[in-house]
Amino acid sequence: MSAKTQFNNSTSENSNCRVLVTGASGYLAMHCIQQLLQYGYKVRGTLRHLNCPEKVNPLRQLANSDQLELYHIALEDGADLWQKAMIDCTYVLHIASPCEVITDEAIIEIAVYGTLNVLRGASQQRCVRKIVLTSSSENDWTNLNWKHLHPYHKSKTLAEKTAWNFMEKNPDVSFSLTVLNPSLIVGPSLQNAKGSSIMIISRFMDGSMPAYPLMKLGLIDVRDAARAHILAMKETKCNGQRILITAETLSFQQIANILREEFADKGYRIPRFKAPYIALWFYSLIDKVALQALSLYGHEDNFDNSKASQLLGMSYQNVRKSLLEMAYDMIERNVLPTMKNVKERKRLI
């Protein structure tokens, strides 16, 4: 049975399945939950804080949220507690990443041991058939010795390696594992999300990026990334696979041009010129993001998304339109300031 066929199963059949989604209030996780509810699944979403209206209310406002159960648990909690969280769950989408931590070391430690807790908890519940893990965007393994590697990306890579190591050492578990490696996720949010893509687009729009570096990024719409998780959840052909999901590669110059055409006449200061290497080097002395960009200056990634097409039947939305939708969404949510004529949208691509 193809991935597309499985994704279109009747809601009555899906209603017999409960899906655990970790980090339920996150940017990607909430889109996964929205689509799962749309297709009739029962969902149990995990949250570190159940008493935070900013995180809980957007989840409660989703369509079919009567089929959504919110469960209080953190990545640091032990496998015995995660085992309880997975009672009656058929699938697990492990999307959660460490948040509200102080040190780089804590980010890495919580991500690794949190993933191990999830896997150990699932191993104690024979009802779990599949775990889909969200990892970093690398087609090949991230170089963990790279001195400018961001702790978030390092934590994702180490967590993924921990997961594969667990599966190798525990061949008798009831579930299979699939890892998805999304590129930079863009598109509108379902809540006031924070994250790397939000930060990058903010810098393009708020004047804090006076010039763009010579580099490229793979991009994928958040709704496509969520759909890929659900397809991977059901598709047995991708068991034991790590799959890159990305729609298109754009240079920072292309991203700037797309945003400038739409927003420059509305008062947003979008960079027009390429940053010389020496200028970026000086800026990197005081800015961690510039420091990472410096090491990627002039580097061109050629992403191969053929595996996602073959195993999941993936097709993708136009990420140029996704960028514009994301920027307007950030303005409407006051992540970016509202400038003149901002409500007069040009025709999106």
Cα dihedral sign, 79-230-6-42:
positive
What's the confidence (pLDDT) of residue 9? Answer: 53
d(CA 319, CA 276): 27
Q: What is the CA radius of gyration of the chain?
A: 20
Inside any domain, residue 322: no
CA distances from 242 to 138, 160, 229 (A): 10, 10, 12
Inside any domain, residue 20: yes
309-320 pLDDT per residue, tens: 999 999 999 999
What's the confidence (pLDDT) of residue 79? Answer: 94
Q: Which amino acid is at 228?
A: A
DSSP per-residue letters across 305-327: -HHHHHHH------HHHHHHHHH
Inside any domain, residue 345: no
d(CA 120, CA 80): 8
Provide the domain count of the chain.
1
* Contact of 203 with 168, CB cutoff 8 Å: no
Inside any domain, residue 292: no
User: pTM here?
Assistant: 0.88
Kindly report the CATH number assigned to the domain that includes residue 153. 3.40.50.720
Strands 18-21 and 42-47: parallel
From first to last of its 349 residues, the chain has per-residue pLDDT tens of 344 434 555 666 787 899 999 999 999 999 999 999 999 999 999 999 999 999 999 999 999 999 999 999 999 999 999 999 999 999 999 998 876 656 677 777 888 899 999 999 999 999 999 999 999 755 444 444 444 455 666 777 888 999 999 999 999 999 999 999 999 999 999 998 777 788 889 989 988 888 888 788 899 999 999 999 999 999 999 999 999 999 999 999 999 999 999 998 888 999 998 876 565 544 554 455 555 555 565 566 667 899 999 999 999 999 999 999 999 999 999 899 887 666 666 656 5
Inside any domain, residue 288: no
Domain of 232 in residue numbering reads as 3-183+220-247+302-315
Inside any domain, residue 203: no
What's the confidence (pLDDT) of residue 210? Answer: 84
Inside any domain, residue 209: no
Strands (E), the chain: 18-21, 42-47, 68-72, 91-94, 130-134, 176-182, 184-186, 216-221, 242-245, 248-251
What's the confidence (pLDDT) of residue 10? Answer: 60
Cβ-Cβ contacts under 8 Å for 211 (sequence gap 6 or more): 271, 272, 273, 274, 275, 279
d(CA 218, CA 316): 13
CA end-to-end span of the chain: 34
Residue 45's nearest CA partner among 54, 106, 31, 53 is 31
Phi, psi (degrees; rounded to nearest 5) at 247: -100, -50
Inside any domain, residue 204: no
Phi, psi (degrees; rounded to nearest 5) at 327: -65, -45
17-44 pLDDT per residue, tens: 999 999 999 999 999 999 999 999 999 9
Question: Would you state the structure tokens that stand for residue 194, as one six-digit string?
Answer: 């924070």
Task: Give CB contacts under 8 A, 24+ apart, made by 167-170.
Answer: 167/119, 167/240, 170/123
